[in-house]
Chains A and B, each alone.
Chain A
């Protein structure tokens, strides 16, 4: 698994886009980038993943740089319910074994 680096915390106004960066400069060619989030006192929730192309689903968009050394998770219209810890993970060799870093605490303000 590649080492990931994320900012400790970020703030966002409700209704605005939240852009959460993740650095994974040691990612190898067959490793995917995954994003999860954990709302307080709940189990983590899968958000999105990608290999090299940008991805979008009903929850978020994932932008991966061309060199794949970093990515950005975009919540297009953040709501108060999006306040959570967001984890970025890059890996491909350990079946299902996710190792979580400290993540980014996103606080969405009214």
Chain B
């Protein structure tokens, strides 16, 4: 199956700093990638849709100025958590799909665990 990677897998930062998370599709191109957030013991919550070459689409309640998304190429999307605070501590996961697999078969990255002190 298709492979999606994320970097870093784990990051600890001080409150007020910015953190960038990368999501890469390793063996396919993805014009669209998705970013999710998951708090402990909860389900995944879709944050935004990342579109290559255009602005991301954010879900209701997600601050676009706080969670900056850049989809610079067909294999890379980045999520930057700006001025991170402890409440931003969460498990961030991206997904993408090769168009030939159909849009419903999403391949997920391994996730990035962010801890803000």
- B4: chain A residues at CB < 8 Å are 43
B91 contacts chain A at the CB level, 8 A cutoff: yes
The CA of A105 and the CA of B43, in the complex, are separated in Å by 11
The CA of A45 and the CA of B110, in the complex, are separated in Å by 10
- A99: chain B residues at CB < 8 Å are 46
Q: Are B43 and A44 interface neighbours, CB within 8 A? A: no
Interface residues of A in 77-105 (CB under 8 A from B): 85, 87, 89, 91-92, 95-103
The CA of A34 and the CA of B105, in the complex, are separated in Å by 8
The CA of A99 and the CA of B34, in the complex, are separated in Å by 11
Contact bitstring B1-39, A, C-beta under 8 A = 1, else 0: 100101000000000000000000000000010100000
The CA of A49 and the CA of B104, in the complex, are separated in Å by 8
- B44: chain A residues at CB < 8 Å are 38, 44, 98, 100
Interface of B is mostly: strand
Interface size class of B (residues with CB under 8 A): 20 to 34
Query: Which of A91, A97, A101 is in CB contact (< 8 Å) with B34?
Result: A97
With A32-B104, A98-B106, A101-B43 already in contact, the answer to whether A43 and B93 are too (CB < 8 A) is yes
B58 contacts chain A at the CB level, 8 A cutoff: no
Query: Which of B46, B91, B105, B111 is in CB contact (< 8 Å) with A97?
Result: B46
- For the complex, count residues of A whose C-beta is within 8 A of B: 25
Q: Are B46 and A41 interface neighbours, CB within 8 A? A: no
The CA of A35 and the CA of B43, in the complex, are separated in Å by 14
CB of A38, distance to nearest CB on chain B (Å)? 8
Q: Are B32 and A96 interface neighbours, CB within 8 A? A: yes
- A49: chain B residues at CB < 8 Å are 104-105
What is B's interface to A at a CB cutoff of 8 Å? 1, 4, 6, 32, 34, 43-46, 49, 91, 93, 95, 97, 103-111, 113
What is A's interface to B at a CB cutoff of 8 Å? 32, 34, 36, 38, 41-46, 49, 85, 87, 89, 91-92, 95-103
Ranked 10 nearest A-B pairs via Cβ: A43-B108, A96-B103, A100-B43, A100-B44, A95-B103, A44-B108, A43-B93, A43-B111, A34-B104, A43-B110
